[in-house]
Chain A
Amino acid sequence: MNKSIPLTTASPPGPRDNNSRFDVNDLRSQFPILERRIQGHPLAYLDNAATSQKPRAVIDCIQRYYLHTNANVHRGVYQLSEEATRAYETSRDKVQQFINARERAEIIFVKGTTEAINLVAHSYAKPLLRPGDEILISTMEHHSNIVPWQIICNQTGAQLRVIPISDVGEIDMQAFGALLSPTCRMLSLTHVSNTLGTITPIKQMISRAHQHGIPVLIDGAQAVPHLTVDVQALDADFYAFSGHKVYGPTGTGVLYGKREILEQMQPYQGGGDMISQVTFEHTEYNELPYRFEAGTPNIAGVVGLGCALDYIQAIGLAQIGRHEQALLAYASEALSAIEGLRLIGTASDKAGILSFVMDAAHAHDISTVLDQAGVAIRAGHHCTMPLMSRLGVAATARASLALYNNQADIDALVAGLHEVNRIFK
């Protein structure tokens, strides 16, 4: 059983910021997909907010797991199962260390940020909510941090309240303060806007919410690839992120929750690993975190996620952040010089995301023209339709950066945008 498996010590923590030289070309060579040519051009992959590419280290790690270790976890009384369990649980230790959680039991593996938010909405918030209670979110939320709350509001009679933002895409802190009412039961916020790149001042907001006794969930899907996250320093009650945006596999994700809160919560799904004893009359639930991990998990994925976290920690998030900020500055200046182009989202504190519209062409046409030059961006509403409505645009084109992007990628983007102007003006 899981409790009896002797776990190996997690890998030594990767440096949060090592001092080795950040060589983007060397890093690029570690991502096999970047060798591809698209429409005869080198791939300039600038849709990292949707999903990141995977380094060979992660791909090899998953392959190695299937070649040598594959077995189910927490069940088998044989060597392979023990090894698989150890590999899976070692990833939990790596996640704990990565976000500086107090203990490993606070790390729940889920299939992604969306499932994590749904888990909290259904297992934590729903049983507490009464008609007239409020759930507070911001205008910049992804649909996955809107719809789960709407569903439980519909089921309980609670109401969704929305913190407004300024025209440049920053939280209206005065309005936020006014919305912290005695009937507010939950604050759920994006750490970094996937559409605008805005970095939300979550530490300050969590502190203010806690002064009113309001628990806070942070959607960190767009933050963890770019920023150092310390859930204890932030004092977040819940923190959610996805593996695939942080150079790990799809179908993996993490919900962090404070132990004292997780212990109050009922399981989200039943079956498999979440039980300790079942009779037809009664079920005793397993201890944390297994109580929330029903069924056979994405074991290879979780192992790959652990490798991805090792990978970026070996580079250093501070180094990655500096590289992306420099590239963001370079790209912002280059894009601003393009005729008829307007950047959407110019918060003073933002991550490497450039959303824009052009007078000459719709975002979809921009994307098609860029694709012909090997440049992959996103076009559309980015699953933030209420935000699009607030900004008064139907769609934007969005270039989003990762550690392996370089100036050549931005130059290809800029050349493609000049081509857009040539075709459509």
Chain B
Amino acid sequence: MNQELRELYQEVIIDHGRHPRNFKVLEDYTHSQKGYNPLCGDRLQLFLRIPPGPQPVIEAASFQGEGCAISMASASLLTESLKGKTPEDAKVLFQQFHQLLTGDHNCTGPDLGKLEVLTGVRAFPTRIKCATLAWHTLLGALDQGETKPDNWVSTE
């Protein structure tokens, strides 16, 4: 395996791809959104529990779906990183993650913790949509007031 492949398919990615965390329908979810990548057929559904209140916080996140190791691992890591964040924090995280994958290879971005294992995707432009599918779905879920939950968010 060459260096680029090794960075793409780090052990953490393969582990999350094979055993995605929070892979279930969330009990008492308040937000749900389906996401779809028509290029490859990957699809998933994201569930969020954000109890209403003066300062809403994402209490739990989960997903179900099928796709490649990158899209499954990215969704799995996303659900892990959302817990305790406000919807606004989550949108900022989306921007930071997007920057991580598409920005200058040498730039030092914000510390995204475990999500940085997906940095290897930068060397594979054709796979960026795989890594961002769950994240576009997240935006759809957060903006659900304006969209119908049964509509698909697409990477195209």
Contact = CB atoms under 8 A, between A and B. Distances in A.
Interface of A: 39, 361-365, 368-369, 372, 379-381, 385, 388, 394-395, 419, 422-424
Contact of B41 (A361, A380, A422, A423): A380
Interface stretch (B1-9, B95-103, B135-143): B1-9
A381 B1 contact: no
Contacts of A369: 5
B60 interface: no
Interface stretch (B50-58, B63-71, B82-90, B145-153): B63-71
A423 B1 contact: yes
A362 B18 CA distance: 11
Contacts of B67: 362, 364, 394
A368 B130 CA distance: 12
Contacts of B42: 362, 364, 394-395
20 contacts: A361-B68, A362-B67, A362-B68, A362-B69, A363-B40, A363-B68, A364-B40, A364-B67, A365-B9, A365-B69, A368-B124, A368-B127, A372-B4, A380-B41, A381-B40, A394-B66, A394-B67, A422-B1, A424-B14, A424-B69
Interface SS of A by simple majority: helix
Contact of A380 (B39, B70, B124): B39
B2 to A, nearest CB: 6
Interface residues of B, number: 22
A423 B39 contact: no
Contact of A368 (B8, B14, B18): B8
A173 to B, nearest CB: 29
A372 B2 contact: yes
B34 interface: no
A423 B70 contact: no
Given A369-B5, A424-B14, A379 B40 contact: yes
B5 to A, nearest CB: 5
Interface in B87-113: none
Contacts of B21: none
Q: Which 4 pairs across A and B sit closest by C-beta, in order of nearness? A: A362-B68, A364-B68, A394-B41, A380-B40
B54 to A, nearest CB: 42
A380 B126 CA distance: 13
